[in-house]
Amino acid sequence: EAQVTQNPRYLITVTGKKLTVTCSQNMNHEYMSWYRQDPGLGLRQIYYSMNVEVTDKGDVPEGYKVSRKEKRNFPLILESPSPNQTSLYFCASGGAGGGYTFGSGTRLTVV
């Protein structure tokens, strides 16, 4: 089954404790992206990757890092999380021709 797998689904952490949210796709897509979704602000792009070892900043990259060492994986890293990074996060992969598939989301709370 074609899918994008995100983990964990829910995470509560404390300020400053490094964390990683994983994202994996099994569709051999070159393009992958991370979004955060906050009430009233919609989906805002954090980082995206057009291919292995190619990553670019989206609209709200501050406080986040990503890596794309292999095509299927695109982890999101928060080196020192802060409460303003409390949000719902989505990973997506795909391309315009075939559409974009989203992971099931990660609800992160930073206290």
Partner 1 sequence: GQNIDQPTEMTATEGAIVQINCTYQTSGFNGLFWYQQHAGEAPTFLSYNVLDGLEEKGRFSSFLSRSKGYSYLLLKELQMKDSASYLCAVTLDNTDKLIFGTGTRLQVFP
Binding site for partner 1 (CB under 8 A): 30-31, 33, 35, 40-45, 48, 50, 88, 90, 92, 94-96, 99-105, 107
**Does residue 39 have a cis peptide bond before it, meaning omega lies within 30 degrees of 0?**
no
d(CA 31, CA 48): 7
Residue 3 vs 15, nearer CB to partner 1: 3
Q: How far is the CB of 96 from partner 1 (least distance, A)?
A: 5
Q: How far is the CB of 52 from partner 1 (least distance, A)?
A: 14
Residue 16 vs 95, nearer CB to partner 1: 95
Residue 12 vs 14, nearer CB to partner 1: 12
> How many CA within 13 A on the CB side of residue 87?
23
Nearest to 68 by CA among 25, 19, 103: 25
